[in-house]
Amino acid sequence: MIMLLAVVLSGVYAESAAAETIGADELLEWNQRRTGIQKTGMIVLGSWAAANFAVSGFYMTRTSDRDFYFHQMNVFWNVVNLGIAGFGYIGAAGSPLDLALAETIHEFRSFSRILAINAALDVGYVMAGFYLKSRGNQSEQHMERLIGYGNSIILQGSFLFTFDVVLALINRSAVLGLADAAAVELTAIPGGIGARFSW
């Protein structure tokens, strides 16, 4: 499954430097689209974190046992999500837009590769959540905490998996559109997608 994710979600590999087959203004628009996808993704992630702070922060004061620990882990987890969203947005906003075609494709590819790695990690998070729940059912002393934390990690991992896959597919669709506009032939290769430029 992880290998399938890597092939489907990974980016583009430029086999050689090519003459520009797309106008500078149009290429600028593609780079704006690239950073727009990244910034929108970080806004979604930050909004998810903020919603978790609001909802779980509220319910932490009104619940106990496994429900309390569920909401507590939601808050803890989303401190990290909010940090990633903030730094990711700043990075996308500061990304250069005056890139050559091969560099633009490379940037699309790098972002897709990050998302593919993250999606694989998300599967691990969900599995870790189920493991904690299983341990909780075998532990009287820490049962409520382990089950609550496990449920939270399953939720957070599932959201992040969906988020990363959807964002990777949007990014992939954009780079395929760029390839079509620039007369670049894309072919699947191990670990990514190959690009053959026509000029």
Strands 184-189 and 192-197: antiparallel
pLDDT tens digit sequence for 69-80 = 999 999 999 999
pLDDT tens digit sequence for 8-22 = 455 444 433 344 567
pLDDT at residue 195 in the model: 44
Range scoring the smallest mean pLDDT among 42-46, 163-167, 187-191: 187-191
Rounded-to-integer distance, Cα 120 and Cα 118, Å: 5
Res 30 pLDDT > 80: yes
pLDDT at residue 21 in the model: 63
Using DSSP's 3-state secondary structure scheme, residue 186 falls into strand
CA distances from 183 to 73, 171, 187 (A): 48, 18, 13
Reported as a pLDDT band with limits 50, 70 and 90, residue 181 is confident
pTM: 0.82
Q: Which tokens sit at 174? A: 């954009």
pLDDT at residue 184 in the model: 62
Using DSSP's 3-state secondary structure scheme, residue 14 falls into strand
Domain count, the chain: 1
Owning domain of residue 110: 2-197
Rounded-to-integer distance, Cα 199 and Cα 60, Å: 61
Q: Which tokens sit at 106? A: 């490379």
